[in-house]
Protein backbone atom coordinates (compact mmCIF):
# COMPACT_ATOMS: atom_id res chain seq x y z
CA UNK A 1 0.00 0.00 0.00
CA UNK A 2 1.25 3.42 -0.72
CA UNK A 3 1.22 5.99 2.07
CA UNK A 4 -1.07 8.93 1.40
CA UNK A 5 0.85 11.85 0.01
CA UNK A 6 4.03 9.95 -0.86
CA UNK A 7 5.78 12.36 -3.23
CA UNK A 8 7.28 9.51 -5.26
CA UNK A 9 5.65 6.11 -5.75
CA UNK A 10 7.37 3.66 -8.09
CA UNK A 11 5.77 0.31 -8.85
CA UNK A 12 7.42 -2.56 -10.74
CA UNK A 13 9.21 -0.17 -13.07
CA UNK A 14 11.30 -1.63 -15.89
CA UNK A 15 13.24 -0.11 -18.75
CA UNK A 16 15.33 -1.94 -21.32
CA UNK A 17 17.83 -0.58 -23.87
CA UNK A 18 18.56 -3.30 -26.40
CA UNK A 19 19.89 -6.12 -24.26
CA UNK A 20 20.53 -3.94 -21.21
CA UNK A 21 17.92 -4.05 -18.49
CA UNK A 22 18.59 -0.58 -17.08
CA UNK A 23 15.72 -0.91 -14.58
CA UNK A 24 14.44 -4.30 -13.53
CA UNK A 25 11.15 -4.38 -11.62
CA UNK A 26 11.97 -1.49 -9.33
CA UNK A 27 9.54 -0.47 -6.57
CA UNK A 28 9.92 2.09 -3.78
CA UNK A 29 8.34 5.13 -2.19
CA UNK A 30 9.75 8.40 -0.99
CA UNK A 31 8.16 9.97 2.10
CA UNK A 32 7.13 13.62 2.31
CA UNK A 33 10.03 15.90 3.21
CA UNK A 34 12.55 13.08 3.02
CA UNK A 35 16.16 13.26 1.84
CA UNK A 36 16.21 10.00 -0.10
CA UNK A 37 19.40 8.63 -1.65
CA UNK A 38 19.98 6.30 -4.58
CA UNK A 39 23.43 4.85 -4.08
CA UNK A 40 25.38 2.70 -6.47
CA UNK A 41 28.11 2.39 -9.06
CA UNK A 42 28.03 3.50 -12.69
CA UNK A 43 25.56 1.74 -14.92
CA UNK A 44 23.22 0.80 -12.06
CA UNK A 45 20.20 2.56 -13.55
CA UNK A 46 20.10 5.75 -11.45
CA UNK A 47 20.01 8.18 -14.37
CA UNK A 48 17.37 6.13 -16.16
CA UNK A 49 15.21 6.26 -13.05
CA UNK A 50 15.64 10.03 -12.71
CA UNK A 51 14.79 10.59 -16.37
CA UNK A 52 11.58 8.62 -15.97
CA UNK A 53 10.65 10.52 -12.78
CA UNK A 54 11.45 13.82 -14.50
CA UNK A 55 9.11 12.72 -17.37
CA UNK A 56 11.91 12.84 -19.95
CA UNK A 57 11.73 9.12 -20.72
CA UNK A 58 8.93 6.56 -20.74
CA UNK A 59 9.09 3.31 -18.76
CA UNK A 60 8.52 0.02 -20.61
CA UNK A 61 6.58 -1.54 -17.76
CA UNK A 62 5.27 -0.53 -14.36
CA UNK A 63 4.16 2.84 -13.11
CA UNK A 64 5.45 5.87 -11.28
CA UNK A 65 3.84 8.93 -9.76
CA UNK A 66 5.53 12.14 -8.67
CA UNK A 67 3.52 14.39 -6.34
CA UNK A 68 0.56 12.13 -7.05
CA UNK A 69 0.75 12.61 -10.83
CA UNK A 70 1.43 9.88 -13.35
CA UNK A 71 4.77 10.26 -15.15
CA UNK A 72 3.27 9.13 -18.45
CA UNK A 73 -0.14 10.79 -18.48
CA UNK A 74 0.43 13.95 -16.47
CA UNK A 75 3.91 15.04 -17.43
CA UNK A 76 3.21 18.76 -17.68
CA UNK A 77 1.79 18.93 -14.17
CA UNK A 78 4.90 17.16 -12.93
CA UNK A 79 7.37 19.33 -14.83
CA UNK A 80 5.98 22.52 -13.31
CA UNK A 81 6.40 21.22 -9.77
CA UNK A 82 9.68 19.32 -9.98
CA UNK A 83 13.23 20.65 -9.90
CA UNK A 84 15.52 18.33 -11.86
CA UNK A 85 19.28 18.59 -11.93
CA UNK A 86 20.72 16.19 -14.48
CA UNK A 87 24.23 14.94 -13.94
CA UNK A 88 25.74 16.93 -16.80
CA UNK A 89 25.01 19.62 -19.35
CA UNK A 90 22.22 21.29 -17.43
CA UNK A 91 23.79 24.75 -17.74
CA UNK A 92 24.45 26.87 -20.78
CA UNK A 93 28.23 27.33 -20.72
CA UNK A 94 28.16 30.47 -22.91
CA UNK A 95 25.65 32.26 -20.70
CA UNK A 96 26.76 34.01 -17.52
CA UNK A 97 25.66 32.92 -14.07
CA UNK A 98 22.96 35.63 -14.09
CA UNK A 99 21.80 34.77 -17.59
CA UNK A 100 21.48 31.08 -16.78
CA UNK A 101 19.25 31.84 -13.81
CA UNK A 102 17.12 34.26 -15.77
CA UNK A 103 16.82 31.76 -18.59
CA UNK A 104 15.68 28.89 -16.36
CA UNK A 105 13.17 31.19 -14.65
CA UNK A 106 11.72 32.26 -18.01
CA UNK A 107 11.36 28.64 -19.14
CA UNK A 108 9.00 28.14 -16.20
CA UNK A 109 7.18 31.40 -16.80
CA UNK A 110 8.54 32.95 -13.64
CA UNK A 111 11.28 35.37 -12.63
CA UNK A 112 14.45 34.90 -10.63
CA UNK A 113 13.07 37.12 -7.91
CA UNK A 114 10.02 34.88 -7.39
CA UNK A 115 12.17 31.97 -6.30
CA UNK A 116 14.77 34.09 -4.61
CA UNK A 117 14.06 33.21 -0.99
CA UNK A 118 14.75 29.56 -1.72
CA UNK A 119 17.94 30.15 -3.67
CA UNK A 120 19.30 33.14 -1.72
CA UNK A 121 21.61 31.16 0.59
CA UNK A 122 23.04 29.32 -2.42
CA UNK A 123 23.17 32.30 -4.70
CA UNK A 124 25.14 34.32 -2.16
CA UNK A 125 28.01 31.85 -2.65
CA UNK A 126 28.09 32.32 -6.42
CA UNK A 127 27.19 36.00 -6.58
CA UNK A 128 30.82 37.20 -6.79
CA UNK A 129 30.95 35.34 -10.13
CA UNK A 130 27.60 36.46 -11.50
CA UNK A 131 29.05 37.94 -14.69
CA UNK A 132 31.26 34.96 -15.38
CA UNK A 133 30.28 32.46 -18.07
CA UNK A 134 28.98 29.23 -16.54
CA UNK A 135 31.51 27.25 -18.56
CA UNK A 136 34.35 29.05 -16.79
CA UNK A 137 33.18 28.22 -13.25
CA UNK A 138 34.82 25.62 -11.01
CA UNK A 139 33.04 22.27 -10.60
CA UNK A 140 31.69 23.25 -7.19
CA UNK A 141 30.36 26.59 -8.41
CA UNK A 142 28.74 24.96 -11.44
CA UNK A 143 26.87 22.58 -9.15
CA UNK A 144 25.64 25.44 -6.99
CA UNK A 145 24.46 27.35 -10.03
CA UNK A 146 22.75 24.24 -11.42
CA UNK A 147 21.03 23.78 -8.05
CA UNK A 148 19.89 27.41 -8.09
CA UNK A 149 18.52 26.92 -11.61
CA UNK A 150 16.65 23.79 -10.51
CA UNK A 151 15.07 25.76 -7.64
CA UNK A 152 14.17 28.93 -9.49
CA UNK A 153 10.52 27.93 -10.08
CA UNK A 154 10.00 26.93 -6.43
CA UNK A 155 9.54 23.19 -6.98
CA UNK A 156 8.02 20.92 -4.33
CA UNK A 157 10.50 18.15 -4.95
CA UNK A 158 14.11 18.08 -6.13
CA UNK A 159 15.54 15.28 -8.27
CA UNK A 160 19.34 15.52 -8.24
CA UNK A 161 21.29 13.07 -10.35
CA UNK A 162 24.86 12.70 -9.03
CA UNK A 163 25.13 16.40 -8.25
CA UNK A 164 28.59 16.12 -6.71
CA UNK A 165 30.36 13.71 -9.06
CA UNK A 166 33.63 15.28 -10.14
CA UNK A 167 33.42 17.99 -7.50
CA UNK A 168 36.17 18.52 -4.88
CA UNK A 169 35.67 17.30 -1.31
CA UNK A 170 35.10 20.74 0.26
CA UNK A 171 32.49 21.67 -2.35
CA UNK A 172 30.83 18.30 -1.90
CA UNK A 173 30.40 18.99 1.82
CA UNK A 174 29.10 22.49 1.18
CA UNK A 175 26.65 21.15 -1.36
CA UNK A 176 25.29 18.61 1.10
CA UNK A 177 24.97 21.30 3.77
CA UNK A 178 22.77 23.19 1.30
CA UNK A 179 20.67 20.08 0.65
CA UNK A 180 20.23 19.62 4.39
CA UNK A 181 19.02 23.22 4.70
CA UNK A 182 16.59 22.80 1.79
CA UNK A 183 15.20 19.64 3.29
CA UNK A 184 14.74 21.39 6.65
CA UNK A 185 12.66 23.98 4.83
CA UNK A 186 10.25 21.18 3.83
CA UNK A 187 11.42 20.23 0.36
CA UNK A 188 11.54 16.54 -0.57
CA UNK A 189 14.92 15.67 -2.10
CA UNK A 190 15.80 12.56 -4.12
CA UNK A 191 19.51 12.44 -4.85
CA UNK A 192 21.85 9.88 -6.38
CA UNK A 193 25.48 9.44 -5.46
CA UNK A 194 28.31 6.96 -5.88
CA UNK A 195 29.82 8.13 -2.54
CA UNK A 196 29.08 6.28 0.69
CA UNK A 197 29.89 9.29 2.89
CA UNK A 198 27.08 11.15 1.13
CA UNK A 199 24.73 8.19 1.55
CA UNK A 200 25.15 8.58 5.32
CA UNK A 201 23.61 12.05 5.11
CA UNK A 202 20.34 10.71 3.65
CA UNK A 203 17.39 9.67 5.80
CA UNK A 204 16.91 6.53 3.77
CA UNK A 205 18.93 5.08 0.95
CA UNK A 206 18.23 2.59 -1.79
CA UNK A 207 21.23 0.55 -2.91
CA UNK A 208 21.06 0.29 -6.70
CA UNK A 209 22.91 -2.14 -8.87
CA UNK A 210 22.27 -3.55 -12.35
CA UNK A 211 18.81 -2.07 -12.47
CA UNK A 212 17.71 -3.51 -9.15
CA UNK A 213 17.19 -2.09 -5.69
CA UNK A 214 19.12 -4.29 -3.27
CA UNK A 215 17.97 -2.70 -0.01
CA UNK A 216 16.08 0.35 1.20
CA UNK A 217 16.67 1.53 4.75
CA UNK A 218 18.09 4.24 6.97
CA UNK A 219 21.83 4.29 6.22
CA UNK A 220 22.63 3.31 9.80
CA UNK A 221 20.36 0.27 9.52
CA UNK A 222 21.72 -0.97 6.20
CA UNK A 223 24.70 -2.47 8.04
CA UNK A 224 22.27 -4.82 9.84
CA UNK A 225 21.57 -6.49 6.51
CA UNK A 226 25.15 -7.71 6.21
CA UNK A 227 25.10 -11.49 5.94
CA UNK A 228 27.26 -13.08 8.66
CA UNK A 229 29.94 -11.68 10.96
CA UNK A 230 32.58 -9.13 10.04
CA UNK A 231 36.14 -8.60 11.29
CA UNK A 232 38.72 -5.86 10.89
CA UNK A 233 42.04 -7.57 10.18
CA UNK A 234 45.57 -6.23 10.25
CA UNK A 235 48.91 -7.75 9.37
CA UNK A 236 52.23 -6.98 7.73
CA UNK A 237 52.90 -6.71 4.84
CA UNK A 238 49.39 -5.52 4.14
CA UNK A 239 49.48 -5.99 0.36
CA UNK A 240 50.37 -9.66 0.84
CA UNK A 241 47.73 -10.12 3.55
CA UNK A 242 44.86 -9.50 1.09
CA UNK A 243 45.92 -12.34 -1.18
CA UNK A 244 46.70 -14.69 1.72
CA UNK A 245 43.26 -14.12 3.28
CA UNK A 246 41.46 -14.50 -0.03
CA UNK A 247 43.08 -17.91 -0.42
CA UNK A 248 41.76 -19.03 2.96
CA UNK A 249 39.20 -21.74 2.10
CA UNK A 250 36.39 -20.23 4.22
CA UNK A 251 36.83 -16.59 3.22
CA UNK A 252 33.70 -14.99 1.78
CA UNK A 253 34.97 -11.46 1.32
CA UNK A 254 38.20 -9.60 1.96
CA UNK A 255 37.96 -5.86 1.26
CA UNK A 256 40.45 -3.10 1.99
CA UNK A 257 38.96 -0.35 4.22
CA UNK A 258 41.32 2.43 5.24
CA UNK A 259 44.27 0.85 7.01
CA UNK A 260 42.50 -2.47 7.75
CA UNK A 261 40.94 -5.29 5.79
CA UNK A 262 37.35 -6.32 6.35
CA UNK A 263 37.02 -10.08 6.47
CA UNK A 264 33.93 -12.29 6.57
CA UNK A 265 33.87 -16.06 6.93
CA UNK A 266 31.53 -18.59 5.34
CA UNK A 267 30.97 -20.39 8.64
CA UNK A 268 28.55 -19.02 11.22
CA UNK A 269 28.65 -19.75 14.92
CA UNK A 270 32.43 -19.96 15.01
CA UNK A 271 33.90 -18.32 18.13
CA UNK A 272 36.08 -15.24 17.68
CA UNK A 273 38.98 -16.93 19.51
CA UNK A 274 38.75 -20.04 17.35
CA UNK A 275 38.65 -18.06 14.10
CA UNK A 276 41.47 -15.77 15.22
CA UNK A 277 43.67 -18.77 16.05
CA UNK A 278 42.93 -20.40 12.68
CA UNK A 279 43.67 -17.27 10.70
CA UNK A 280 46.78 -16.43 12.71
CA UNK A 281 48.16 -19.88 11.89
CA UNK A 282 47.15 -19.61 8.22
CA UNK A 283 48.70 -16.19 7.75
CA UNK A 284 51.92 -16.75 9.73
CA UNK A 285 52.62 -19.88 7.66
CA UNK A 286 52.46 -17.58 4.62
CA UNK A 287 54.83 -14.88 5.78
CA UNK A 288 52.45 -12.48 7.55
CA UNK A 289 53.44 -11.07 10.94
CA UNK A 290 51.79 -8.66 13.44
CA UNK A 291 48.47 -10.39 12.74
CA UNK A 292 45.48 -8.99 14.61
CA UNK A 293 41.69 -9.20 14.16
CA UNK A 294 38.66 -7.70 15.90
CA UNK A 295 34.92 -8.20 15.36
CA UNK A 296 33.28 -5.04 13.96
CA UNK A 297 29.80 -3.80 13.06
CA UNK A 298 29.26 -3.81 9.30
CA UNK A 299 28.61 -0.42 7.73
CA UNK A 300 26.66 0.58 4.65
CA UNK A 301 29.70 0.11 2.44
CA UNK A 302 30.30 -3.46 3.68
CA UNK A 303 26.69 -4.35 3.10
CA UNK A 304 26.67 -2.79 -0.31
CA UNK A 305 29.68 -4.79 -1.43
CA UNK A 306 28.30 -7.99 0.05
CA UNK A 307 24.89 -7.53 -1.61
CA UNK A 308 26.49 -6.48 -4.88
CA UNK A 309 28.56 -9.62 -4.91
CA UNK A 310 25.35 -11.60 -4.55
CA UNK A 311 23.72 -10.27 -7.72
CA UNK A 312 24.02 -12.73 -10.58
CA UNK A 313 25.58 -11.46 -13.79
CB of 25 to ligand ADP, least distance (A): 15
Taking the C-alpha atoms of residue 5 and residue 156, their distance in angstroms, rounded to an integer, is: 12
| Preceding peptide of 164 cis, ω within 30° | no
CB of 22 to ligand ADP, least distance (A): 3
DSSP helix/strand/coil, 216: strand
Yes or no: say if 36 and 190 are a contact pair by the CB < 8 Å rule.
yes
Interaction between residue 59 and ligand ADP (CB under 6 A): no
Interaction between residue 46 and ligand ADP (CB under 6 A): yes
Nearer to ligand ADP, 42 or 113 (CB): 42
Q: Which stretch binds ligand ADP (CB under 6 A): 43-51, 119-127, 174-182, 197-205?
A: 43-51
CB of 81 to ligand ADP, least distance (A): 23
Taking the C-alpha atoms of residue 46 and residue 159, their distance in angstroms, rounded to an integer, is: 11
CB of 32 to ligand ADP, least distance (A): 25
Interaction between residue 44 and ligand ADP (CB under 6 A): yes
Nearer to ligand ADP, 24 or 99 (CB): 24
CB of 47 to ligand ADP, least distance (A): 3
Considering only residues 16 to 35 of the shown chain, the ones binding ligand ADP according to CB under 6 A are: 17, 20, 22
Number of CB atoms found within 10 A of residue 99's CB: 15
Taking the C-alpha atoms of residue 112 and residue 304, their distance in angstroms, rounded to an integer, is: 41
Strand residue runs (E) in 20-96: 20-30, 35-39, 61-66, 69-70, 82-85
Taking the C-alpha atoms of residue 222 and residue 253, their distance in angstroms, rounded to an integer, is: 18
Nearer to ligand ADP, 52 or 261 (CB): 52
State the number of binding residues for ligand ADP (CB under 6 A).
Answer: 11
Considering only residues 146 to 205 of the shown chain, the ones binding ligand ADP according to CB under 6 A are: none
DSSP H stretches of helix in the chain = 46-53, 75-81, 97-107, 116-126, 139-151, 169-184, 196-199, 219-222, 238-247, 272-284, 300-309
CB of 57 to ligand ADP, least distance (A): 8
Interaction between residue 144 and ligand ADP (CB under 6 A): no
Which residues are near ligand ADP by CB under 6 A?
Answer: 17, 20, 22, 40, 42-48
Amino acid sequence: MSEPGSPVVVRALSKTFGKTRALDNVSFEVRPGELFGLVGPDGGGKTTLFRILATLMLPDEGSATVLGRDVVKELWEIRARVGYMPGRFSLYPDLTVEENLTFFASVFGTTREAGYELIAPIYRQIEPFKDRKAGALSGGMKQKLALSCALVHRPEILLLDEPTTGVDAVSRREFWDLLGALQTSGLTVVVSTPYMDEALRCQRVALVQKGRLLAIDAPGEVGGRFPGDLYAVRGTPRHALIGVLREFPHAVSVQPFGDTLHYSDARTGLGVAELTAELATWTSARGIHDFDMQPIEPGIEDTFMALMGGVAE
